[in-house]
Chain A
Amino acid sequence: MPFAFLDRVIESDEDRLVAVRSLTAGEDYLRDHFEGFPVMPGVLMVETMAQACRELLARRGHEGWVLGEARGVRFNSLVRPGQTLRVEVRLRTMDSDRAEFQGSGEVLDPGTVQGASAVTGRLVLRPVRLDNAPSAEAR
């Protein structure tokens, strides 16, 4: 399964991006999270917001940045199969090695455009740092 959590970008401008990710009952990890009680893991809400941040940065010419920090991320509602997570990220500050975003997500029932808050928090993306890759000697 590709680790892709944006089904579609709904809106975007220079500093803001809105995207959706629908949860389907057939996703493998829902067998474990949880057995008989499938809900979207909270960290996948974070991943959805992080991928929205990465997409916004890519549109600004910064490819491949990764999540480096998450602060004050609250999980407010469960997202169940058949529902959709709609995330919105806003770029707050940015320099050469750090982009700070405010993110939020709401859970939508089928056919609705507004729902309850599912997640809120601040995310920081940064360029990839590979200092700890195994050395040739160790391999």
Chain B
Amino acid sequence: MRWLWIDRIVDLAAGERLRAIKHVSLAEEHLFVTPAGVPVMPASLIIEGMAQTAGLLVGHAGGFREKVLLAKIQRATLDREATPGCTLMYEATLTRMDPQGASCNGTVHLRADDEFVPIGTVDLLFTHLDHARSDEVFGNTNFVFGESFRTLLRLSGIEPPEATA
């Protein structure tokens, strides 16, 4: 299991909003099989999908200079399960950004047939690691936005940060 929970960025309004999609496939090994035998995507990973969507929005707004780390789930509510064959869409909106970190509100949509319908909200708080833990040295490499994210950004037509390793 790799750690990339969005498949494609579908649009970006820099510093404001980012939308991304994630397909749910029966081939994925993280699915939770309910007692009725139906595989569903764990809610924790849907929250992570929103965290990656919002984290990219925050990282992009800061030129990918900051190590953007999830610090708090203010509130996440998910009303329906995502099953194989569905597509999730994450829409993150930046509500605050300063040297210490950022806040984002997010809406999760699910497409089972033709239309996306909202199934929940995820509001998150991020910290900029080098500011939050200034007594620790994390180095110059921005390990948060690694090769997987750079590939995702390239495939989505967005200029990725340069590798700093």
Contacts and interface: CB of A to CB of B under 8 A. Distances in A.
Interface of A: 1-3, 28-37, 41-44, 46-47, 50, 63-64, 66-75, 121, 128-135, 137-139
A95 B74 CA distance: 24
Contact of A132 (B31, B75, B86, B165): B86
Interface string B99-137: 000000000001011100101000000000000000000
B45 A72 contact: no
A132 B117 contact: yes
B138 A41 contact: no
Given A64-B35, A131-B80, A139-B85, A121 B143 contact: no
B36 to A, nearest CB: 7
B57 interface: no
B32 A3 contact: yes
Contacts of B44: 43-44, 46-47, 50, 67
A28 B143 contact: no
Contacts of A137: 113
B3 A128 contact: no
Interface of B: 1-4, 29-32, 34-36, 38, 40, 42-45, 47-48, 51, 70-83, 85-86, 110, 112-114, 117, 119, 138, 141, 143-144, 146-148, 165
A74 B72 contact: yes
Interface centre among B76, B79, B83, B144 (most CB of A within 10 A): B76
Contact of B1 (A29, A50, A66, A138): A29
Nearest to A133: B83
B115 to A, nearest CB: 10
Contacts of A34: 143-144, 146
A47 to B, nearest CB: 4
Contacts of A63: 35
Given A128-B34, A135-B113, A139-B85, A121 B73 contact: yes
Contacts of B31: 3
13 contacts: A1-B29, A3-B1, A3-B32, A33-B3, A42-B73, A46-B44, A50-B43, A64-B36, A70-B76, A71-B74, A72-B72, A72-B73, A130-B38
| Minimum-distance CB pairs A-B, first 7 | A32-B3, A35-B146, A47-B44, A34-B143, A67-B43, A73-B73, A29-B3
